[in-house]
Each structure stands twice: as structure tokens, then as C-alpha cells.
Amino acid sequence: MKWKRLLPIIGIAIFVYILFRLDVSKILLEVKNANSNLLITALFFFLIFMVLQTGKWFVIARVQKIDISYIDAFKINTKTFFYSFITPSRIGVAMRAEYLRRHNGNLGKGLSNYTIDKVLDLCALIFIVIFAIAIKAIIPRVYIYYFSIALILLIVGLILFIEEKRSRKILGIFLKRIVPKRMKNRGKKLFESFYENMPKKRYFPLFFLMNLLTWIVLETVNYFIGLSLGINVSYFYYLAILPLATLISQIPITIGGLGTREASLIGFFSLLNVEATKVFSMSMIGLALTAILPAIIGGFLILKSKKKFDRKFFNS
């Protein structure tokens, strides 16, 4: 539907509104006066984040017996930064499944790799929010129960999801009632490849811890960016606020979280009496460092690639 195509404009409109409400000259001054040593520290932690972010799904891929080197995985991860930056809710990261298909011959494994990583990624994010709110109540602690319920539902859903027999029953209903006959064979093959070499349950605590560490390092990046601008609040407030803003930015009404992220950050940090200009400046520096820069590098890698899949995107 046409109205769905217009949804990303909402976030951009919010961003423009905030920009005009604030003093642009003050924003530029804040960015100019940011502590360069702390920004370099933030860049250092971002490089660690890139290594960890690749590593968390690379480990899953190796357990799935997908023949891929870490260097190739790192390149794929960088390319997906480009796709995630230009798509609502960062769904462009799902392009990783197509890249992995070239290394294992089927799309199913790539999709299961992305799904496992995405669900555990969300679980880790919610866990951080619960932990941080318990220590620093940026929002009423009653929300801990709501987030805990969401986390439990995700975990239960993941457990049910990785069980092939249960999923086969659900798929059977889906194939019979919804999928057209001409596509049933293709759907069945995709399902079988999806569960091929599915990681055992004993690996999932490791996968979760890797996602948890990755998120903590990313929020540490933003913490040092905030410090460089003089936002001197407890690290645990950052751990509570930034993941909450990330969750809100997943609403598919913008591109790359633009607008919704800034609005939520300004709202939460205002509870700590932090100036909106400083918060907006932090978001802009963070966006440039953790999204725009890797997206440019990823776009360059795609542009340089001789593979048809990459070339097709820029020629379309």
C-alpha cells in the first residue's frame, strides 16, 4: 500500500522539527567543542564493537557449518551497515542472509542465522534495560515487570522456534491454508534448509553473552561521546536510556532510526536535566560514528564488488 511507503517520512519530519526547535548554531558549537580525546576513545570502542558484532553471528554461522572466514564475515557485516542505514527499522541487516547463501548454497541457513542473532540481540537489549532500570530508575520500576514478561516471551518463543518438530506442525498449517500450491515445494525446501545444522540449545547461552557484550560496548561508545559533550551522568543511566531509545527507534516510521531516536533521547535525558542541545549533538556524533561512517565504507565495498548481487543494487 502507498501509505506504508510514506511512513519513513514521519521520523524524518520529527528530526527536522527538533532541528528547527533547537538552535543549530549551538549544536554546531557543541560538536566543535567536543573533547577530542574522549571522541578518540569512543572510536576505539566502536572498532571493538565492529569486531564483536561480526563475531557474534560468525560464531553462529560456524556452528551451522557455514564455510565462511572471519574476514569475509567482517566485509559482509560492513556492507549490511549500508543496507540497514537506508531501510526502516534497520531491516536491511537481513541482507546478510543472502550473502551467507553464497557460502552454503541455500538461503535457509542464512535466514536462521539472522533470526537467531536478531532474537538474541533483542533479548540482550531488553536484559540491559531491566538491569539498568533496577539500578537507576529513569522510568518507574514497574516497567521492569513488563520488560521481563517481554524477555520471557522472547526466550520461550526462541525455544519453540528452534524445535523443528513443533515448527513443522505450524508450517504444515501455514502451507495448507496460506501458501499457493505452486510455492509449497519451494517453501518446504526453504524450511528444511532453515533447520539444517540448527545449533544445539547448549550454544545459546554463549550466543546471548556475545550479544550482551556487543551491546555494552556500543553503549560505552555513546557514553564517551556524551562525556565529550559534558553530559556527566552515571554510566548506568546511559545503559538504561540508550537501549530504550534503540527499542523506540525500531518502530518502522523512519530510516535508520532518525527522528524517533533523537526525540526519545531528549525526552529521557530531560529527566536528568540535560540540555536538549547537548543530547541532540550526542545523537548526531553517534550517528556519524556508528552509522554513517560504516555505511559509507559498506557502500564503497558494495560499489567495488564484482559480484552480480552487489552490482545489481547500484544499477537498479
Give the separation between CA 30 and CA 189, rounded to whole angstroms. 55
Does residue 118 surpass a pLDDT of 50?
yes
CB 78 within 8 A of CB 301: yes
Q: Kindly indicate the confidence band of residue 306, based on its pLDDT and cuts at 50, 70 and 90.
A: low
How large a percentage of the chain has pLDDT more than 90? 41
Flag whether 83 is in a domain. yes
The number of beta carbons lying within 10 Å of the beta carbon of residue 5 is 8
Flag whether 62 is in a domain. yes
Q: Could you read off the pLDDT of 76-89 as tens digits, one per residue?
A: 999 888 888 776 65
Q: What is the pLDDT of residue 224?
A: 97
Flag whether 273 is in a domain. yes
Flag whether 109 is in a domain. yes
Q: Could you read off the pLDDT of 244-295 as tens digits, one per residue?
A: 888 888 777 777 677 888 899 999 999 999 999 999 999 999 999 998 899 9
Q: What is the residue range of 155's domain?
A: 2-162+198-315
Calculated CA dihedral for residues 96, 101, 300, 49, nearest 10 degrees: 40
Flag whether 174 is in a domain. no
Give the separation between CA 27 and CA 267, rounded to whole angstroms. 17
Amino acid at 273: N
Give the separation between CA 44 and CA 64, rounded to whole angstroms. 31
| pLDDT (average), residues 195-220 | 92
Instruction: Return the SS3 of 60.
Output: helix
CB 154 within 8 A of CB 119: yes
| pLDDT (average), residues 57-79 | 92
Q: What is the pLDDT of residue 2?
A: 55
- As for how many domains the chain has, the answer is 1
Flag whether 284 is in a domain. yes
Q: What is the pLDDT of residue 32?
A: 92
Q: What counts of helices (H) and strands (E) characterise the chain? A: 16, 0
Does residue 28 surpass a pLDDT of 50?
yes
Flag whether 179 is in a domain. no
Flag whether 185 is in a domain. no
